Amino acid sequence: MRSDRLRGCLVITALFAGTSSASAQVKSDEKTDKKTDDKAKATVVAQADPQAEPAPPAEPSPQTGPSPQTDMSPGAPGARTMTVTEDQLRKMIDEQMAKSKPKGPALEFSGYARGTVGLSVQGGKQVCFGLAGADTKFRLGNECDYVIEPQFTARIVNREDKSSWGVVVMPGLYRTFQGPPGGDNSFFSNIPAEFRQIYFFGEGVPQLLNGRGWGGRRYYDRLHLNINDQFLEIEDGDGAGIEDMNVGVGKVSVAFLMNPNSEASQVAGAGGAPIATANLAPFKLTARITDIQTAKEGSLQIWAGLYSYSTSKDQQDPAVVISKPDTLFRFAAYHTLGKILGGTNFVGAKVDAGSNHLQWRAVVQEQMAFNNEHTSADLVAEYRSNKNRADSDSPWIKNDWFSFGGRVDTQISGPFRFLLEAGIDRVMPETGDAPQLIKTTAAFALNAGETAGNVPSFRLFYTHGFWNDAAKTSDLGVYAQGQSGTRLQQIYGDANNGGAFGIQAEAWW
């Protein structure tokens, strides 16, 4: 309503200004010569529209003799009647309206969400298949959880040097199908959201080599494989850093992170009972260089990290002994090459090492698109070896894991699509039989577009899992706590396979 009143007042004012100016000009022109008349006409134009250029002299009328409005001879009465054109009036109104609009930070909205509902073929609700000794699982039709992560980015200051300064806020919600320990009866009815990210930033800063400075709590150093929802790199936490500084050969990022609000690291207190302590503070230093050009369609990225602890003597309880855990070092290299088999090839290797821990992994992924991107195929293979021991006097405990699988996603017609995914996971302990799981899923989908990446996507799926006897008895199998645990056994008992069906919605924006 305020904008409409303002626009109306501007229209009336502009019309009044134009009419008054024209009348004043006629009276003054009766006693002036041509030179004075031209000057008066310029003044009238300025009164009608201060930003408009002086109008050119009117062409003579085609009728015999000059008309009273266009007679430019000296002493002619009413040399010109000035009116405000529609374009000039619109320009005046738009300028005034622009000045009246409130100014504030530019707000961007993005995020991710997914949710699933499903039932087991044998009865009861869907329980998902996964080996407790594996790092991940194949995700299509096999996610017994829901996630809501809306993200708001406010750019508060935009400087003339093209840097942008602002804040990122992301409340988040993550829940599995099963309730939390302790019997929280409100678990299924409330929305216990928390701030997953809230940090300040300054990006495109020339003094940081057009990089980005940040500080706060955030998702950081995430390198993701979509087909199995795996983070090869993930360093979330509270901290500060500088990222994506352009050093010519690539982009450099460094950060310091910890969680000062958490005392998850516990020590033995008086009588041996575990207690939380402020004398043991874990932290990590991370660094990476990305976008190292290796070929026309190829790039390399190198990651490194240090995981350590700050310790001190407990001044309150002499019975508490603070032992500093191992310092770990991380090093990884990942290479991406385009135009391979009609798609993009990704290979990587990573090592984590400490006095009592050694882990390495190798991964390869091929993502392809066919039929003008209406069909896509995604293949991934990974091998990971892990060794741990309690201390230098204890034996090593080894656990290796191998995974291989793929997904095909093709258009049927319009927004309708068909997806097929299959994968195998095998855990290889140092002693005993190797648990193995094969998971397959077929799904029909409704996408907001004609390609696999168009979302939102709604999927009607059927998933079936097959596991060996070792997966039922081993601590690294399907019945162990960690993935679905006892809930899988509650549904399938002593069986070696089982199925589930359901509907999933997923979107990122």
- 3-state secondary structure at position 442: strand
The answer on 165 and 54 residing in a single domain is no
The answer on 72 and 140 residing in a single domain is no
Whole-number pLDDT of residue 61: 43
Confidence of residue 275 (pLDDT cuts 50, 70, 90): confident
Whole-number pLDDT of residue 505: 97
Q: Which residues, other chains included, contact 237 with Cβ-Cβ below 8 Å and sequence gap of 6+?
A: 217, 218, 220, 257, 258, 259, 284
**Most confident by average pLDDT, 61-75, 312-326, 367-381:** 367-381
Whole-number pLDDT of residue 30: 47
DSSP 431: S
The answer on 457 and 429 residing in a single domain is yes
- Domain extent for 12: 2-100
**CA dihedral sign of residues 177, 181, 182, 184:** negative
The answer on 196 and 118 residing in a single domain is yes
Return the minimum-mean-pLDDT range out of 78-82, 193-197, 367-371, 500-504: 78-82
Tell me the mean pLDDT in the region 221-242.
94
Confidence of residue 94 (pLDDT cuts 50, 70, 90): confident
Could you tell me if residue 455 is inside a domain? yes
Complete DSSP assignment for 192-240: --EEEEEEEEEEEEGGGTTEEEEEEEE--S-EEETTTTEEEE---EEEE
CATH of the domain at 417: 2.40.170.10
The answer on 300 and 359 residing in a single domain is yes
Identify which has the larger pLDDT, 16 or 93.
Answer: 93
Confidence of residue 467 (pLDDT cuts 50, 70, 90): very high
What distance in Å separates the CA atoms of residue 65 and residue 223, rounded to the nearest whole number? 83
Complete DSSP assignment for 243-312: EEEE-SSSEEEEEEEE-TT----EEE-GGG-EEE-SSEEEEEEEEEEEEEEEETTEEEEEEEEEEEEEE-
Of 100, 128, 145, which marks where a domain is finished? 100
Whole-number pLDDT of residue 117: 93
The answer on 131 and 13 residing in a single domain is no
Token code pair at residue 355: 């006095």
pLDDT reading at 121 higher than 80? yes
pLDDT reading at 74 higher than 60? no
The answer on 145 and 91 residing in a single domain is no
What distance in Å separates the CA atoms of residue 128 and residue 177, rounded to the nearest whole number? 10
Confidence of residue 346 (pLDDT cuts 50, 70, 90): very high
* Rg from Cα positions in the chain: 35
Confidence of residue 188 (pLDDT cuts 50, 70, 90): low
Could you tell me if residue 237 is inside a domain? yes
Domain count, the chain: 2
Of 75, 100, 125, which marks where a domain is finished? 100
Whole-number pLDDT of residue 370: 92
The answer on 216 and 70 residing in a single domain is no
Whole-number pLDDT of residue 110: 97
Could you tell me if residue 212 is inside a domain? yes
Could you tell me if residue 365 is inside a domain? yes
pLDDT reading at 1 higher than 60? no
Whole-number pLDDT of residue 44: 40
The answer on 449 and 486 residing in a single domain is yes
The answer on 333 and 234 residing in a single domain is yes
Q: Tokens 């002499």 label which residue?
A: 318
For residue 142, give the nearest of 116, 103, 181, 179 by alpha carbon. Answer: 116
pTM over 0.85: no
The answer on 123 and 94 residing in a single domain is no
What distance in Å separates the CA atoms of residue 379 and residue 259, rounded to the nearest whole number? 36
What distance in Å separates the CA atoms of residue 462 and residue 443, rounded to the nearest whole number? 6
Nearest 5°: CA angle at 116, between 139 and 184? 110
- 3-state secondary structure at position 380: strand
Of 76, 100, 124, which marks where a domain is finished? 100
Whole-number pLDDT of residue 332: 98
Could you tell me if residue 105 is inside a domain? no
